[in-house]
Structure 1
Amino acid sequence: MGMPFWRRESVSISGLFFFVYFVLGALYPLLSHYLKSIGMSGTQIGLIVSVGPIVAIFAQPFWGMLCDRFQMSRQILSSILLCAAAAALLLLWGGRSFIAFALLYGLLHFFQSGAVPISDGLALQYAAHTGIEFGRIRQWGAIGFAVATLVAGLLADWFGLGAIFYVYTVAQLGAFACLRGVRTERSMGTVNVFKGLARLVRIPRYMLFLMSAFLIFGPINGNNIFFGLLYDSLGGQVAGIGLAFLLFAGSEAPFMKWSGFFIQRLGLEKTILIAGLVSALRWLWYGTSPSPTAVLILFFIQGFSVGLYLASAAQFVKENTPDGLRVTALSVYTSMGLGLGSMATNVVGGMLVDAYGILTTYTFFGVLTLLGLVPLTLVTWFVKRKDTVLQ
């Protein structure tokens, strides 16, 4: 007998998350090295890296509203994955100059930025129907990212840094294949997303959470950009950077899987608050110049902070926004953190590196995250959920 459909769908949606995050692990950790290898200056690399978050600020809400308006999340995500795969090859073949690479990189991010929030929406829908915890699905994204850092690094050593774009393309096709086994359900009637956005703005818990995401999510992504500089300044070897990313990303998976345990015992809001506090303490500790060995030994801090935060944050958005606007709400949240928050953090962080050094940048990350705990505290203890807004 064949595998039951619900089981096949579980494999498909886990595979989807594996590949959606595999593409991120294949491309971004080695992107700056690739740009340097084709003659880009440090300033040019910084400007190119900033293109992604800038595009995401506008692209993610666009894709979210499109999904909620037409109730075709799976079809839209299919198109996004194929277009992103094609854009990666264009980037490799045509992005030899600064202007050309920046434009094509922006095109890639226009499609790429929609994949994560739409996938989250599909997974949350699946979790609601099956009773499976979202963190158990989301953990496959962390596993995919971790495996990708190893695979892409090895292939880049064997065939050159350009290999990361081929790995990216193949992984997008893998995500497309897995998506074919994922079902979606349409809401009754169409959704007026512009009126829906006005409804989202009137949800105090959601707006406070967006403020928090801007302040907490930015440093999380800023660490992906600046960790290499930090590790080098601490006296670590270049080879240790790849090992650190592998350990960091790998540690997220078990904590995402265990997120349901923490949520059941502490509550959703307190789980997010604790994850944010651990993130703040981590950045402040990095700012004190610890030994590279200590950073590697305590790799699991990333899992306890980032893993718990990412798994719990998407669930918070789902539970505090209307069902018909779920993808829009997730996209705006991702745009605020991954887009606007990352852009602002990277710009200020880079200025601090030039003026005061990398340790000051990480102290800044810690202070920023502590500020992000303020709106989270309001959400946890003072601003209660109003179910009438979610109808």
Structure 2
Amino acid sequence: MTDPAASALRSRLPPGLRLSLYYAALFSVVGVQMPYWPLWLEAQALTPAQIGLLLAVGFWAKVLANPLIGRAVDVHGRRRGPMLILASVALTAYALFAVAEGFPALLALSIVSTAAFAALMPLGENITLLTVYERKLDYGRIRMWGSLTFIAGSLAGGWLLLDLPTDVILWAILGGIALTIGACALLPDVRTRSRREDGPAPAIAPLLRHPAFLLFLGTAAVIQASHAVYYGFATLHWQAAGLSEDVIGGLWAIGVVAEVVLFLVGNRLVARLGPARLLLLGGLGGVVRWSVMAVTVDPVILAPVQCLHALTFGATHLGAMHFIARAVPPAYSGRAQAIYSSAALGAGMGLAMGLSGRLFEAAGGQAFLAMTVLGAAGLLGGRLLAARWDGGRLPV
């Protein structure tokens, strides 16, 4: 999309719609990638342990990349331009998977592609939250469009795999990233004041030393990490148990439908419960969800249990976003978002994903019990955060 064309569209479309289009495009990729990328990797003759490692290194790439990108954003104040660059790098890296051969090449591309694509999320969330609080928009209703296209992607992927080879997964991802580049060009050009204008960026150390922020990071990290076996191996587990690709796609979709319902009432939930109690609910949902998944592959039982995704992911994510918006001073917002992404969706998930490959290889579906333990830790962390944080800005 040329810049004049993007500028013309930006002037005609309201900010809420442009943000919704961004989430819709981004999660059209995730809806195919998350359930079915392990199948593409398996088709490259990789073992579960190797698949776990490839998925894990991508999460670890966030740990290094996201804080550096977040700092650059806080220093220069710009967000949309860096996002266009990152999306283009992700498109190039994923395209190279089509010609890559051997585990080392797949490993290198996994690091680059995941680091670039994953960095879009905290920057996009930062633009969204700044716009939401400035224009009094409903974050949940904007974010739910990502959940809806995740559903569409997971269902479409299952149907396509009934008749087409696994290569269709890669081509669907490439198409989704191309749409994401276009959506990034339409984003509001939200800028905080450049640190070159206001002086050096405030040191991040006081925020990282604050007990409430550390408790928040730890709680969000263990709940998100409890999804590792599900994200990495649920599709393989269910496929080995005889479930068809369209049934598997339907199970993934059910979870995200429940998430959409939660986002629809997100503002009311945040007002009623507050961010910390939403995190507590996320941990509680994990204890129940992963315990059941460890003992059954019956889709009649799995279908209602998948509704707990509204808690394990939806409530956790909603609580995390509103904690950052309420507790973190604006001057730290870009870096706080990146640190959250690095800790909760990077380091924690990277550790859990690396272990989940070996756990699944050794124990099959019983590996979900390890995720139950992480859910319980998140439940405890949410309870402690609710008791120790007063709901206002952290004094840093």
Q: Would you say same fold, with TM above 0.5?
A: yes
Matched, 1:111 2:125: no
Aligned in 2, Cα 1:383/1:8: closer, same or farther, shift over 3 Å?
A: closer
Q: Distance in 1 between matches of 2:48 and 2:282?
A: 33
Q: Which residue does the alignment assign to 1:139?
A: 144
State how far apart, in whole Å, the 2-side matches of 1:235 and 1:165 are: 24
Alignment of 1:307-326 (within 5 A): 307-326=314-333
- Any conservation in 2 of the 1:221–1:338 contact (CA below 8 Å)? no
TM superposition score normalised by structure 1: 0.90
Tell me which of 273, 278, 285 is aligned to 1:278: 285
Aligned to 2:3: none
Of 114, 118, 126 in structure 2, the residue corresponding to residue 121 of structure 1 is 126
Deviates more, 1:19-28 or 1:238-247: 238-247
Which segments of 5 or more consecutive residues in structure 2 lack a partner in the other structure? Answer: 1-7
- 2:96 matched to 1:90? yes
**Residue 33 of structure 2: aligned partner:** 27
For 1:355 and 1:50, the matched residues in 2 are separated by 18
Q: Residue deviations 1:144-171, cap 9 Å, x none? A: 2111122334445555322222222222
Rounded to whole Å, the distance in 1 between the matches of 2:114 and 2:76 is 22
1:371 paired with 2:372, answer: no
1:215–1:372 CA contact under 8 A, matched in 2: yes
Question: Aligned partner of 1:149: which letter?
Answer: S
* Letter in structure 1 aligned against 2:273: L
Distance in 2, matches of 1:388 and 1:224, equals 33
Gaps of 5+ in 1: none
- How far, CA to CA, are the matches of 2:10 and 2:126 in structure 1? 23
Which amino acid counterpart does residue 252 of structure 2 have in structure 1? F
Other-structure match for 2:203: 196
Change over 3 Å in CA distance of 1:179–1:352 after alignment to 2: closer
Percentage of matched positions with identical amino acids: 20
Structure 1 contact 212–376 (Cα < 8 Å) conserved: yes
**CA offsets 1:43-76 (integer angstroms, 9 cap, x no match):** 3323222221121211121221121111111111
Shift of 1:371: 1.1
Q: Mark the CA change 1:3 to 1:174 in structure 2 (over 3 Å): closer, same or farther.
A: closer
Residue 243 of structure 1 pairs with residue 260 of structure 2: no
Q: Distance in 1 between matches of 2:108 and 2:297?
A: 39
Query: Could you tell me how far 1:357 is from its partner in structure 2?
Result: 4.0
User: Cα offset for 1:179?
Assistant: 2.5
The alpha-carbon deviation at position 238 of structure 1 amounts to 4.9
For 1:238 and 1:194, the matched residues in 2 are separated by: 50
- 2:59 aligns to what? 53
Write out per-residue CA displacement over residues 261-312 of structure 1, whole angstroms, 9 at most, x where no aligned residue.
Answer: 2112222222221232122221123234373311113432212432222122
Question: How far apart, in 2, do the equivalents of 1:220 and 1:304 lie?
Answer: 12
Q: Please tell me the residue identity of whatever aligns with 1:199.
A: P
TM-score, normalised relative to structure 2 = 0.89
CA-CA distance at 1:342 after TM superposition? 1.2
Matched pairs, number: 387
Q: Is the 8 A contact 1:213 1:341 kept in 2?
A: no
Distance change in 2, residues 1:159/1:235 (3 Å): closer
Q: Once structures 1 and 2 are overlaid, which stretch shifts more, 335-344 or 162-171?
A: 162-171
Rounded Cα–Cα distance in structure 1 between residues aligned with 2:359 and 2:191: 48
SS in 2 for 1:92: coil
2:227 is the counterpart of 1:216: no
Choose which of 10, 30, 33 in structure 1 pairs with 2:16: 10
* Alignment partner of 1:166 is 2:171: yes
User: 2:339 maps to what in 1?
Assistant: 332
Deviations 1:67-101 (A, max 9, x none): 111111111111111111111111222x1211111
| Cα distance in 2, alignment partners of residues 254 and 122 from structure 1 | 23
Alignment-derived partner of residue 180 in structure 1: 185
What is the match of residue 99 of structure 1?
104
Aligned partners of 1:388, 1:228: CA distance in 2, in Å? 41
The question of whether the paired residues in 2 share the 8 Å contact of 1:278 and 1:304 is answered with: yes
Query: Residue 199 of structure 1: CA displacement?
Result: 2.6
Q: Is the 8 A contact 2:275 2:323 kept in 1?
A: yes
**Contact kept? 2:52, 2:358, Cα under 8 Å:** no
Q: Which moved more, 1:72-81 or 1:156-165?
A: 156-165
Q: Indicate conservation of the 8 Å contact 1:273/1:377, yes or no.
A: yes
Please report how far the alpha carbon of residue 18 of structure 1 lies from its aligned counterpart in structure 2 after TM superposition. Answer: 0.8
Q: Where in structure 2 are the equivalents of 1:225-264 lying within 5 Å?
A: 225-231=232-238, 236-264=243-271
Give CA-to-partner distance per residue, 1:17-52, whole Å, 9 cap, x none: 111121112223222221222332333323222221
How many angstroms apart in 1 are the aligned matches of 2:38 and 2:188? Answer: 37
Partner of 1:81 in structure 2? 87
Aligned pair partner of 2:354 in 344, 347, 353: 347
SS at match of 1:207: helix
Question: 1:54·1:340 contact (CA, 8 Å) conserved in 2?
Answer: yes
Deviation at 1:385, TM superposition (A): 5.2
Give the aligned partner of residue 310 of structure 2: 303
Cα distance, 1:373 vs structure 2: 2.4
User: Quick one: structure 1 residues 148 and 238, their matched pair in 2 at CA, closer, same or farther if it must change by over 3 Å?
Assistant: closer
- Alignment deviations for residues 318-365 of structure 1 (CA, whole Å, 9 cap, x no partner): 211121221211111111121111122123333333444422x21211
